[in-house]
């Protein structure tokens, strides 16, 4: 059972209530969700908004994941090195893995930014399907990369923390846990690859 004292509860509760109210408010008498209204909402939003949001999401969530991993690993590393100073130099590789997650996001954000081009409107002040597709593609690419790197940073941080503590207890465990950390770091590359592939089909005009 979720405790009311848990701060996570108070984060997800208003989001859940707002989302349910949103679904009900756009529902028609015959349908719970009015998809025609939702299509009009997304179709009327500028593709440059989705593009900019995708770029910001790619770099922002990647940096958040990297910071999360660094403070998780760093706190364990500094604390354990007080008693066992020899682990400091070896376990800095965990910090490097976490920092690489932020670099992934920066690289994808730069690539996505270079994909944004000028696109005009038609006589009805509506962007073309090509422009809307491009905006949604960049948004999806940034979303994919951002979430992948966020989870990757958390994974590398937790494994790196365990690596530092186990190395302080038994130095023979360092290489074994480092292999696990390498596989965890590879998760961010999957998001980078998919994001680049998604942005490769961007075409703002016919």
Round to whole Å and give the CA distance between 191 and 64. Answer: 15
CATH number of 46-199: 1.20.120.610
Reading the chain (206 residues) residue by residue, the pLDDT tens digits are 555 555 566 667 777 777 776 666 555 556 666 667 777 777 777 888 888 889 998 999 999 999 988 988 888 888 888 888 887 778 888 888 888 899 999 999 998 888 888 777 676 667 777 888 888 888 889 999 998 999 899 888 888 888 888 888 887 888 888 888 888 888 888 889 988 888 888 787 76
- For the chain, the residue count is 206
Q: What is the pLDDT of residues 15-74, one digit of tens each?
A: 777 777 666 655 555 666 666 777 777 777 788 888 888 999 899 999 999 998 898 888
**Tokens 């509860």 identify what position?**
9
Q: Distances in Å between the alpha carbon of 120 and those of 49, 123, 130, 167, 203?
A: 15, 10, 11, 59, 13
**CATH 1.20.120.610 domain position(s) in the chain:** 46-199
What percent of the chain clears pLDDT 70, i.e. is strictly above it? 83
Predicted TM-score (pTM) of the model is 0.77
Is there a contact between 70 and 95 (Cβ–Cβ < 8 Å)? yes
* Bridge partners, residue 167, by sequence: none
What average pLDDT is seen over the chain? 81
Round to whole Å and give the CA distance between 193 and 144. Answer: 10
pLDDT score at 106: 92
């Amino acid at each position: 059972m979720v405790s009311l004292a848990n701060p996570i509860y108070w984060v997800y509760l208003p989001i859940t209530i707002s989302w349910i109210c949103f679904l009900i408010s756009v529902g028609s008498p015959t349908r719970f969700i009015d998809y025609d209204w939702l299509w009009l909402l997304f179709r009327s939003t500028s593709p440059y908004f989705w593009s900019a949001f995708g770029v910001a999401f790619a770099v922002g969530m990647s940096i958040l994941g990297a910071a999360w991993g660094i403070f998780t690993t760093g706190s364990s590393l500094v604390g354990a090195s007080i008693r066992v100073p020899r682990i400091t130099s070896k376990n800095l590789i965990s910090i490097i893995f976490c920092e690489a997650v932020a670099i992934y996001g920066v690289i994808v954000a730069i690539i996505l930014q270079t994909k944004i081009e000028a696109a005009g409107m038609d006589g009805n002040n509506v962007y073309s399907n090509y422009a809307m597709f491009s905006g949604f593609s960049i948004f999806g690419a940034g979303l994919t990369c951002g979430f992948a790197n966020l989870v990757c940073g958390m994974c590398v941080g937790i494994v790196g923390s365990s690596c530092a503590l186990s190395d302080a207890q038994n130095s023979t465990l360092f290489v074994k846990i480092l292999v696990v950390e390498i596989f965890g770091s590879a998760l961010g590359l999957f998001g980078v690859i998919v994001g680049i592939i998604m942005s490769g089909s961007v075409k703002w005009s016919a």
